[in-house]
Amino acid sequence: MLFSKAKKEAIEIHERVSNKYSSTVANVQEKCETLYTKRQQSIIKIEEIEKLINNIANTPKEFKRSLTLIETELIKFRETESYAVETYQNAVKSGAGMAVGVGAGVTTASLAPTAAIWVATTFGTASTGTAISTLSGAAASKAALAWLGGGALSAGGAGMAGGKALLALAGPIGWTIAGISVAGFTFVHAKNNKKLSKEIIEEAKEINLTEAELRKTGEFISNIYNETTLLMSNIDMQLDKAKQLNGNIYLSLSNDERLLLGALVNNTLSLAEILNKIAE
């Protein structure tokens, strides 16, 4: 049939880029989950250090200011977690996001509560680029459904957060061409072959571009993970030495011991701040 070979080749290209995209999706999802696990571990470490510092009497005001900032970061992270769970539950109850359509990627219902949390803590912004935590009411619900559903639905489900790829992280992307799935192309009348071939190739290009953006996002997430891991490693060494100071009076400590505590507090503040660092 006329242009049937071109259509076949276009579908093969589409399948290759789609498979590559799916592999990248799985890779980024794994990175998000791993980062969230590391962040949970860092919170436990932070709380242990807070307790240690609070058990040392007469610490300088700088320590108290740092501990206040640390606690602020912890509260912010926990609020993001709670918001994600609440939004997920409300969306499921209301049925919102159930009929997003294959062209928009995943639906809210396809995300597990834990996945909703790591999406929120990793990306943390609405598709408009506005921090979700600063929104309220209907605006907050709409923004939350945007990132839970794979991106701004009004934009065709492109799934971008802050201009970067956040697309179908909970499952395969549902790419379509004019409402016809790739699997259904073979049933299209031959006279559409030329037009369909062009559309398939164009969409394959879009998938390829999105995959590249998602790969960059994955690299950024890896950097956050590595930075967190390095900080935790340094903190572990400092904490091992500082534990022997538990219950002491700060003024009775040696200069080296005070420097140790100062470094520990500073690193712990850095660790707390990176808790809320999001992928761009």
pLDDT tens for 228-263 read: 999 999 999 999 999 999 999 999 999 999 999 999
DSSP letter at 253 equals S
Please check the confidence at residue 98 and state whether its pLDDT lies above 80: no
Classify residue 190 by its DSSP letter: G
Angle at the Cα of 151 from the Cα atoms of 207 and 229, rounded to 5 degrees: 85
Say what the pLDDT of residue 69 is. Answer: 98
The pLDDT of residue 207 is 78
Q: Which of 52-66, 74-88, 147-161 has the lowest mean pLDDT?
A: 147-161
Residue 255 vs residue 192, higher pLDDT: 255
Could you tell me what percent of the chain has a pLDDT over 70? 65
Cβ count near 106 (within 10 Å):
26
Distances (CA, A) of 92 to 85, 86, 87, 107, 152: 11, 10, 9, 10, 18
Contacts of 150 (CB under 8 A, 6+ apart): 100, 104, 105, 106, 107, 157, 159, 166, 167, 168, 169, 170
Confidence of residue 133 (pLDDT cuts 50, 70, 90): very low
Do the domain assignments include residue 211?
A: yes
- The amino acid present at 124, given as its one-letter code, is G
Q: Are strands 160-161 and 164-165 parallel, antiparallel or unpaired?
A: antiparallel
Cα–Cα distances in angstroms (integers) from residue 238 to residues 38, 232, 265, in the given order: 19, 10, 10
The CA-atom distances, in angstroms, between 210 and each of 25, 138, 173, 279 are: 10, 29, 11, 16
Q: What's the structural domain count of the chain? A: 1
Residue 280: inside a domain: no
- Residue 257, amino acid: E
In a domain? residue 255: yes
Smallest CA-to-CA distance from 170 within 122, 223, 220, 227 is with 122
Is pTM beyond 0.85? Reply is: no
Distance CA(246)–CA(143), nearest Å, equals 45
Q: Which residues pair with 161 in a beta bridge?
A: 164
Domain that holds residue 243: 4-275
Segment 190-203 shows an average pLDDT of: 75
Query: Percent helix, strand, coil in the chain (nearest 5)?
Result: 75, 5, 25
pLDDT band at 30 (very low <50, low <70, confident <90, very high): confident
| Average pLDDT over all residues of the chain | 74
Considering the domain boundaries, does residue 223 fall inside one?
yes
Q: Is the pLDDT of residue 95 over 80?
A: no
The verdict on residue 147 lying in a domain is yes
